[in-house]
């Protein structure tokens, strides 16, 4: 299944109601492969993804809920944790080597969620979780920042919600502010 890009953007939303079916290993791998095609500053690719399936996903859901939020994660079919790794920019770039890393991770995350949506997999980008517990469940070294966790699965309701967006005059302009 492949969609036109605007269709894909319209159907991708933050899903918080999953039906409990697992997302296959092959599908997770395919989604991560597409995410890795994302642009990054000087092609630094300052990320490492860790997929959680089965019992690991269940343990991760418990750590996510410890933040006091995101209680819907019990029915997710899988998770992908996104860590920030060392960015190595080209010689002559004057900014701090990590300056662009979080922006790069943001772009890669959007690519990941769009790749998932293209395959019929719903997602929700999570920034609230028990950091120490998630590091432990996934075996992430303590000195590696865990930036986001993407909840993945099959939406109970496959009809996308209407998107509520600011008026265009508040978000876009031509020639000047």
Q: Is residue 60 situated within a structural domain?
A: yes
pLDDT-derived band at 135 (thresholds 50, 70, 90) equals very high
Paired strand residues for 124: 151
Print the domain residue range for 93: 13-157
Answer yes or no: is pLDDT of 74 > 70: yes
How would residue 39 be classed by pLDDT, with cut points 50, 70 and 90? very high
Order of strands across the sheet that contains 146-153: 47-52, 78-84, 146-153, 122-126
Tokens representing 45 are 């690719």
3-state secondary structure of 107: helix
85-112: b or e for each residue (b if 16 or more CB lie within 10 Å)? eebebeeeeeeeebebbeebbebbbebb
- Please report the pLDDT score of residue 108 as a whole number: 98
pLDDT of residue 109: 99
Q: Say what the pLDDT of residue 3 is.
A: 61
Q: 157 falls in which pLDDT band (50, 70, 90)?
A: confident
What are the φ and ψ backbone dihedral angles of 15, each rounded to 5 degrees?
-95, 135
Is 177 a domain residue?
Answer: no
Tell me whether residue 44 is in a domain. yes
The CATH number linked to 37 is: 3.40.109.10
Whether residue 171 lies inside any domain: the answer is no
Question: What pLDDT does residue 161 have?
Answer: 84
> What is the total count of domains within the chain?
1
Count Cα atoms within 13 angstroms, Cβ side, for 7: 7
Per-residue pLDDT tens over the stretch 80-89: 999 999 988 8
Residue 102 included in any domain? yes
Over residues 120-140, mean pLDDT: 98
Q: Would you state the pLDDT for residue 97?
A: 74
Q: Is residue 48 part of a domain?
A: yes
Q: Enter the tokens of residue 3.
A: 């969609």
Q: Mean pLDDT across the chain, nearest whole number?
A: 94
State the pLDDT at residue 98. Answer: 81
175 is a domain residue = no
Helix (H, G, I), strand (E, B) or coil at 13: coil
3 within a domain of the structure (yes/no): no
Residue-level pLDDT at 125 = 98
**pLDDT at residue 163, as a whole number:** 86
Distance CA 152, CA 32 (A): 12
In the predicted structure, residue 1 carries a pLDDT above the cut 70: no
């Amino acid at each position: 299944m492949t969609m036109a890009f605007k269709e894909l953007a319209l159907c991708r939303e933050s899903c918080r109601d999953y039906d409990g079916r697992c997302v296959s290993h092959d599908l997770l791998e395919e989604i991560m492969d597409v995410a890795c095609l994302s642009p990054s500053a000087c092609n630094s690719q300052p990320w490492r993804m860790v997929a959680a399936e089965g019992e690991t996903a269940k343990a991760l859901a418990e750590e996510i809920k410890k933040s006091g939020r995101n209680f819907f994660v019990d029915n997710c079919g899988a998770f992908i944790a996104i860590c920030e790794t060392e960015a190595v920019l080209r010689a002559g770039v004057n900014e701090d080597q990590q300056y662009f890393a979080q922006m790069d991770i943001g772009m890669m995350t959007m690519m990941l969620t769009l790749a998932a949506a293209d395959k019929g997999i719903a997602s929700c980008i999570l920034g609230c979780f028990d950091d120490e517990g998630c590091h432990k469940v996934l075996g992430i070294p303590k000195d590696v920042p865990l930036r986001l966790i993407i909840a993945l699965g099959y939406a109970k309701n496959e009809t996308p919600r209407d998107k509520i967006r600011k008026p265009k005059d508040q978000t876009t302009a031509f020639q000047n502010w």
